[in-house]
Amino acid sequence: MRYRLVVLALAAVAAWVLPYGLSLYAIHVVDVAIVFAILAIGMGLVMGIAGQINLAQVAFFGVGAYMTAVLTTHVGMGFWTAAVLSVIGTAVVGLLVGTPALRMQSHYLGIVTLGLAVAFVSWATNSPLAGGASGISGIPAPTLFGLDLSSEYLFYYFELIVFACALAFGMFIVRMPLGRRMRAMRDDALAAGAVGAEVRSLRMAAFALASVYGGLAGVLYAGLIRYVAPETFSIANMFLLLAMVIIGGRHSLVGCVVGALGLSLLREALVDVSTYAQLAYGAVVALTVVFAPNGLAGLPGRVRSAWGRRRPDKAAVLGDFQPYEPASPDVVGGPDRDDWILDVRGVGKRFRGLIALQDVSFQVRAGEIRGIVGPNGSGKTTLFNVISGLYKPSSGQVIFAGKPATGRPPHQLAHAGMARTFQNLRLFHLMSVRENVLVGLDRSRIRSIWRYLLWPIGVFRDDREMHRAGDELLARFGLVDFAPAAPRSLPYGTQRRVEIARAMAGRPRLLLLDEPAAGLNGEEVRQLGEIVRSIRASGVTVIIIEHNMGLVMSMCERITVLASGSVIAEGTPAEVSRTPEVIEAYLGDAEVNDNFSAEDELPPATVLDATP
């Protein structure tokens, strides 16, 4: 921490004295580089943090610059009024450009945003309002508190302050709950929704942020150059910006800034051989994505891990699970004994003619552990996806805690008290174990986003509170030693436990576990049983899909059996295991080894005993 403060102070001093050693031309180059750095922060936020492929960032830049130019020259506004309006206007454009992200992702989003960027350049080149190919000149020089900012030296200081604020605000967002939810969405949008992140709103927020940075950069550019022309906002410059962010490291805002400053200055130094420079940075981009996907910002981590491998690491230990406080009996059962927390009514689901679920009905009592079993392909996970809001059922209804759940998006159900895990582990793999749990804890909504701008202290306090609760949770699940680790570096069984911890972080009333024992060894299965029982004892209803019949039979009060998309049996473990339909579904025939009943003596020390 102190080390960082020193670095920061040194950087500030260096930035402050820098102009004293620079010629007028050099300070101009630096001024332009800073504009690109602000632009790159926006790009890093939307692409590196929120995972949205946005190839229209340069168009946001253009909208900001052109709006400032038009408002000052054509409308005759003062520079600062125009600047404020331009940033707001760019944000509106950003939201519009971002709307396709609600429907599509990845390369689809890339081509749409790129197309819109081309459209913008085309508009600017042709519109009389924008001055056509020759652009708009004569933008008045801004003055601030009587200082004439037409001096590039003075403008530098002004820019420096704006830049510092912009970077600080960006980093603040990244580290606070909002940025964490965005990063979670980037790593796994599905899981992020399931833990309560409003994925669609977050995508829009990311575009809004990127466009505000773009607009800010545009305003600064207009004030600095006092002339705008279409070629500044060309696709070639879009790709240059992309190269800055990729080479610098898209997951790190500081990396983006380093990339932007570095490439801007390099481009200036190599201006005589600009085509070769272009060749070089294109090649570096192609090689970076393959060999150093995290860019320059990823290098220190690599060095550190290479260094760390040489030293024997203090072995991290998976701690014991600390049981939850059992809830008082009036929460578990008690007078509400007949309360259904989940009521699935005649749910059907088809995928293009294929029937995955057919008229599935069952109810789960509050405080119960319910097992859902059935052969492969019987529709168990589809059922979970319907219950948790990932799929809309083709027919039927799901009632959760007395309210219809059908048609509500996953994040709403999560906020209403439903949590789930996934069959194939969906942890946020670029985030630490602690952050994974923190995302699960995070109940803040996008509508309180204004606090980031107007009441950052409140955000900061909330975050500290979350960290405290997160540490408690990590301790409870015995994960303290793994808190800073990347999920993928952990043993499989530990990852499973992290996922359960993340699901429990939201203090759910209903927990859906999808094959939590898959891939676990005997001891881990035993611990899992202990964890699930304790979770239930704390008042949480648990529904568990599992193939480990020993675990299911020993733990669940009731079991629902699915086969070919329909419920074929329901009852206590003993009842279910005697139902001919169940035996038929599993063994193919009720008569297979029916000559013996289950109570028959078994050979001692059977290798088959999987019952924990």
Partner 1 sequence: MQVFFQTIVGGLSIGAIYALVAMGFSLVYRTMGLVNFAHGNVVMIGAYVASTFYMTTQLPFAVSMVIAIVVTGLIGVVIEWVLRPLENRDFDLMLIGTIGFGIVLEALATIIWGATGRAVPSPVPAEPLNLLGIRVRTYNLVVLGIAAVAMILLMLFLQRTKRGSAMQAVAMDYEAATAVGIHVGRSNAIAFAIGAGLAALAGGLVGPLLYVSPAMGGTLGIKGFAAAILGGFGSIPGAIVGGLAIGLLDGFAAGQFQGYSEVVVFLVFTALIMIRPTGIFGERTVNRA
Partner 2 sequence: MSERANEPSTLSERANQPSNVSGELIIEGLSVHYGGVTAVRSVSLRVAAGQSVGLIGANGAGKSSTLRALMALVPRAATAVRFGDVDLMRVRANDMVRHGIGYVPEGRHVFPGLPVEKNLMLGAYAQRWNEQVRDTLAEVYEIFPVLAEMRRRLAGALSGGQQQMLAIGRALMARPRLLLLDEPSMGLSPKLIEDILAVLQRLSREGMSILLVEQNAKLTFEATTECLVMENGEVAMQGASQELRRDPRVRKVYLGL
At a CB cut-off of 8 Å and minimum separation 6, what does 49 contact?
174, 179, 182, 183, 186, 206, 251, 253
| Using rule CB under 8 A, residue 526 touches partner 1 | no
Q: Can you tell me the distance from the alpha carbon of 340 to that of 332, in angstroms, rounded to the nearest whole number?
A: 12
If one asks whether residue 564 binds partner 2 (CB under 8 A), the answer comes out as yes
Closest separation in Å from C-beta 500 to partner 2: 17
Nearer to partner 2, 223 or 573 (CB): 573
Give the separation between CA 128 and CA 133, rounded to whole angstroms.
Answer: 9
The pair of three-digit structure tokens given for residue 517, joined into one six-digit string: 């024992």
Residue 103 or 337 with smaller CB distance to partner 1: 103
Taken in order 163, 164, 169, 173, is the CA torsion positive or negative? positive
> Hey, what are 135's tokens?
């652009």
Contact with partner 1 (CB under 8 A): which of 81, 106, 521, 572? 106
Binding string, residues 316-355; x marks residues near partner 2 by CB under 8 A = --------------------------------------x-
Tell me which residue of 147, 159, 167, 133 sits closest to 225, measured CA to CA.
159
Is residue 73 close enough to count as binding partner 2 by CB under 8 A?
A: no
The answer to whether 580 touches 592, Cβ cutoff 8 Å, is no
293 binds partner 2 (CB under 8 A): no
H or E segment at 344?
strand 340-351
Q: CB nearer to partner 1: give 16 or 108.
A: 108
293-304 burial by CB neighbour count: b if 16+ within 10 A, else e?
ebbbbbeeeeee
581: how many CB neighbours lie within 10 A of its CB? 13
566 binds partner 2 (CB under 8 A): no
- Contact call for residue 104 and partner 1 (CB under 8 A): yes
Say whether residue 589 binds partner 2 (CB under 8 A): yes
Residues in the interface with partner 1 (CB under 8 A) total 49
Residue 34 in the binding site for partner 1 (CB under 8 A):
no
553 sits near partner 2 (criterion: CB under 8 A): yes
User: At its nearest, how many Å lie between partner 2 and the CB of residue 342?
Assistant: 24
577 binds partner 2 (CB under 8 A): yes
Residue 569 amino acid letter: A
Assess contact for 248 and 40: CB atoms under 8 A: yes
For 402, residues 6+ apart whose C-beta sits below 8 A from its C-beta are: none
Give least dist CB 474 to partner 2, A.
Answer: 21
User: Per rule CB under 8 A, is residue 549 in the interface with partner 2?
Assistant: yes
The answer to whether 473 contacts partner 2 (rule: CB under 8 A) is no
List the interface residues with partner 1, window 50-79 (CB under 8 A).
51, 53
Structure tokens of 290? 């393959």
Exactly one of 456, 547, 557, 570 binds partner 2 (CB under 8 A); that residue is 547
Q: Which one of partner 2, partner 1, none is in contact with 300 (Cβ closer than 5 to 8 A by kind)?
A: none
Question: Which one of partner 1, partner 2, none interacts with residue 243, CB within 5 to 8 A by kind?
Answer: partner 1
Contact (Cβ atoms closer than 8 angstroms) between residue 51 and residue 184? no
Alpha helices by DSSP H, listed for 18-75, are 24-43, 57-73
**Contact stretch for partner 2 (CB under 8 A) within 252-260, 475-483, 533-541, 601-609:** 601-609
CB of 496 to partner 2, least distance (A): 11
* Residues in contact with 555: Cβ distance below 8 Å, sequence separation at least 6, in sequence order: 369, 371, 529, 532, 533, 544
Neighbours of 30 (CB within 10 A): 21
Phi/psi of residue 307, nearest 5 degrees: -65, -45
Residues of this chain that interact with partner 1 (CB under 8 A) are 51, 53, 99-100, 103-108, 110-112, 114-116, 118-120, 122-123, 125-127, 189-190, 193, 199, 235-236, 239, 242-243, 246, 275-276, 278-279, 281-290, 293
Residues of this chain that interact with partner 2 (CB under 8 A) are 354, 375-378, 491-492, 515, 518-519, 547-554, 564, 573-574, 577, 582-584, 586-589, 591-593, 595-598, 600, 602-603, 606-608, 610-611
